[in-house]
Amino acid sequence: MANRAQRLLSAAKNSPLPEGTYAIGAGLLIAGVSAYGFQILAARQLSESEYAALNGLWAIVFVVAPGFFQPLEQEVSRALAHRRALGIGGAPLVRRAALLGGILAGSVALASIIGAPKLVDELFHGESLLLVALLIALVSYYMAHTTRGTLSGNGRFGPYGRMHASEGIVRLLFCLGLFAVGVGTPWLYGLALALPPFAAIAIALRGQRGLMIPGPEAPYSELSSALSLLLLGSVLAQLLSYSSFLAANILAEPGEKDLVGKFITGLFIARIPILLFQAVQAALLPKLAHLAGEGRHADFRVGMRKLVLIVLGLGIVGTIAAALIGPFVGELLFGKDKFILGHRDLALLAAGSAGFILALTLAQGLIALRGYATAAIAWLVGIMTMVAVTAAGHDLFLRVELGFFVGSAVASIAMAIALLARMRSGVPTDAVDELVENIPHEPLEI
């Protein structure tokens, strides 16, 4: 018994989980749950058309913000941690990244203003004030991702987790206030989406010192020579994630616009497996990746194989659950008048979400093996497949559901083929370490 106790103590002391794993996982879980609270309250308060308009904003924000700013966050975190390990101050690096992120945010804002008539008509259903919320969100999420990269690069994982949690909580409280007083104006709910990152930044940075230590100037190449490919792949991934909703908005006839608001409720029910995977990924993936010892090639393959099996298991369970009880859960959460999707619809959306999770997981392995361009191409192939399948159908919901499912499946297959090819050619000795670095800070946006 004494020997067994000693082994358990030794195992606990040598836990392979990176510092801050549980804080990040808890923050992501709270953020995910609060996102569902926001959606439920908004769906019950707004009309179908207003709710569809609000989610047009939601989709744009969570395609653009993670797509453009999350790779920048990851590169800031990596480069800053490298400087910290060498005893070099990272303030110039953070300022360089902030300038680059500001240029990206300004470019997207300018494109949004130029395309405002089409954007307001197609996605915001005529609610022009949602454009103001979008512009605010571009600024708030640019600042939030830059702050997260600075925190994680300095090893401040507790505040990093608090940022995710506090953003979700503040958004939910904002929405609860609007709901309590009976506000039915979509642009105010849009502000509830756009403003909370500012509060999260203030909460996370409270009491933090030594984040901006002076150091040598940082060239753009220090962030990454492959940043443009990472940005492209990230944007394409988020675009595929919301492709069914975006396509439904674009393809809906004038008489079908109200149905789009009801479609998004089903999509959120089907994406519950993403929420579950988001909650466990911060603890699960680093542990699998840290199996690496002397034989890194074998350990990398074993870790990825186990991970794929877990993702497939979650996807199968999620799809079966969506097909069997999805409509009941949807009516319970959103109300019978706001939820109209059936068993087949939810099964296809859940299967598409599972395929997307698998593709995203394989993409992380591919990126760890320096397959930046290949990962971006795989996402592009998935999107092109989605467009082709959707164009071949006629029923509004069925065509976008099948497109999302087949597009995600094709992206997964392309990622798997590319990853197997790279693994056969050998795993670089630092590839597992890079996978460990990236994954704890790779949240899957709901």
Residues 261 and 388 in one domain: yes
* Residue 232 and residue 131 share a domain: no
Average pLDDT over residues 79-97: 84
Let me know whether 160 and 27 are in one domain: yes
- Same domain (yes/no): 288, 361: yes
Residue length, the chain?
A: 446
pTM value is: 0.81
pLDDT value of position 378? 95
- With H, G, I as helix, E, B as strand and everything else as coil, classify residue 21: helix
Write the pLDDT tens digit of every residue in 243-289. 998 888 888 887 777 778 778 888 888 877 666 665 555 444 444 44
CA atoms within 13 A on the CB side of 225: 2
Contact 43, 268 (CB under 8 A): no
Say if 10 falls within a structural domain.
Answer: no
Give the model's confidence band at 3: pLDDT under 50 very low, under 70 low, under 90 confident, else very high. low
**CA–CA gap between residue 44 and residue 66 (Å, rounded):** 27
Same domain, 397 and 379: yes
Spell out the residues 6+ positions from residue 103 whose beta carbon is closer than 8 angstroms to its own: none
What pLDDT does 77 receive?
81
Domain count, the chain: 2
- The answer to whether position 2 is within a domain reads no
373 and 253 belong to one structural domain: yes
Is residue 413, in this structure, part of any structural domain at all? yes
Cα–Cα distance measured from residue 84 to residue 438, given in angstroms and rounded to the nearest whole number: 17
Name the most confidently modeled range: 57-61, 81-85, 197-201, 389-393: 197-201
Alpha-carbon distance 201 to 76, whole Å?
16
Q: Is the confidence at residue 292, as pLDDT, over 50? A: no
pLDDT value, residue 13 = 42
With 0-12 CB in 10 A as exposed, 13-18 as middle and 19+ as buried, what is 385?
buried
Measure the CA–CA gap between 405 and 400, rounded to whole angstroms: 9
Q: Assess whether 26 and 165 both reside in one domain.
A: yes
Q: What is the pLDDT of residues 102-113, one digit of tens each?
A: 999 999 999 999
Q: Cα(378)–Cα(445) distance, rounded to whole angstroms?
A: 19
Q: Are 284 and 396 members of one domain?
A: yes
> Which of 204, 222, 240 marks a domain boundary?
222
Question: Of 222, 243, 272, which closes a domain?
Answer: 222
Cα dihedral 325/165/306/239 (nearest 10): 70
Q: Are residues 215 and 277 in the same domain?
A: no
Residues 301 and 419 placed together within one structural domain of the fold: yes
Higher pLDDT, 411 or 89: 411
- 11 domain-assigned: no
Q: Residue 210 and residue 155: Cα distance in Å, rounded?
A: 11
| 327 in any annotated domain | yes
Instruction: Decide which of 154, 189, 222 is a domain's last residue.
Output: 222
Q: Which of 183, 192, 428 is nearest to 292 (CA)?
A: 428
Q: Are 66 and 138 in contact (CB under 8 A)?
A: no
Largest Cα–Cα distance in the chain? 73
Sign of CA dihedral 355, 361, 366, 372: positive
Q: What is the pLDDT of residue 179?
A: 92
pLDDT above 90: residue 197 = yes
* Burial annotation 150-174 (CB, 10 A radius, 16+ → b, else e): bbbbbebbbbbbbbbbbbbbbbbeb
277 and 379 part of one domain: yes
User: What pLDDT shows up at residue 105?
Assistant: 93
Q: Is residue 276 part of a domain?
A: yes
* DSSP labels, 47-103: -HHHHHHHHHHHHHHHHHIIIIIHHHHHHHHHHHHHHHHHT---HHHHHHHHHHHHH
Please give the residue range of the domain that contains residue 312: 226-446
Say yes or no: 152 and 179 in one domain: yes
Main-chain phi, psi angles of 338, to 5 degrees: -105, -5
The dihedral built from the CA positions of residue 79, 84, 87 and 89, taken in this order, carries a sign that is: positive
